[in-house]
Amino acid sequence: MSTIQVFLPLDIDRFLRRECPYCKREFKIEVPDELLRQEDEKFTAEYLVEAEEKTQIAEATEKEIHCPYCGQVAPANHWFTIEQLNYIQVLARNWCIENLNREVFEKMQKNLSNKNQGITMKFGQQKMRIANAWINRESNDMRLIKLPCCHIRLKIQESWKEKIYCVECGFPHENSRIVDYREGQ
């Protein structure tokens, strides 16, 4: 099993963008302090992407999240945006290429050019190239609210007027009764 560290950008309030796998609407959740990492005045959230055969078992026992818009439930690792998934895939692909270059091509070149065996072969294979991994900085573009049931702070679309479901327990709140959150509340 190998683990790749992936750091995703957060907005200025340290919220991570998520996308519902069902309704495809985006919202933001507050990132726990233990996942925060500060780099040059910007914060990122650390996610570990595990490359192993037992991934499906690990996903089944992972915490589930409710969509604040449609109320549907899915495991926590099903809420990545398309941009986040593309970024993670490029990082994972680069990790594989770097390992292939190091563990296969460099060792093969060394072994094939070893003249002690009486056989001389020229290794003409070039190393595989890695892709440029890039993701946009996170904008501060949503309405910040605090849900009274689990005291969860989250950000939703400014234009959303329907019920708001708690991401933790799934309780439906009338939008008209949820007030915007301000520091100190």
Joined together, the tokens standing for residue 31 give: 């990132």
pTM: 0.73
- Residue 153: Cβ-neighbour burial (10 angstroms; 0-12, 13-18, 19+): middle
**Whether residue 95 sits in one domain with residue 11:** no
Tell me: do 28 and 100 sit in the same domain: no
> Side by side, which strands form the sheet with 36-39?
2-9, 42-51, 36-39
| Count of Cβ atoms closer than 10 Å to residue 155 Cβ | 24
Judge whether 123 lies within some domain: no
Q: Are residues 22 and 44 in the same domain?
A: yes
- The number of folded domains in the chain is 2
Q: Reduced to 3 states, what is the DSSP secondary structure of residue 111?
A: helix
Do 29 and 103 share a domain, yes or no? no
Print pLDDT tens along the chain (185 aa): 567 777 888 888 889 999 999 999 999 999 877 767 655 555 555 555 544 333 333 333 468 999 999 999 999 889 999 998 888 888 888 888 887 777 776 666 666 665 556 655 555 556 666 666 667 778 888 999 999 999 999 999 999 999 999 999 999 999 988 888 765 55
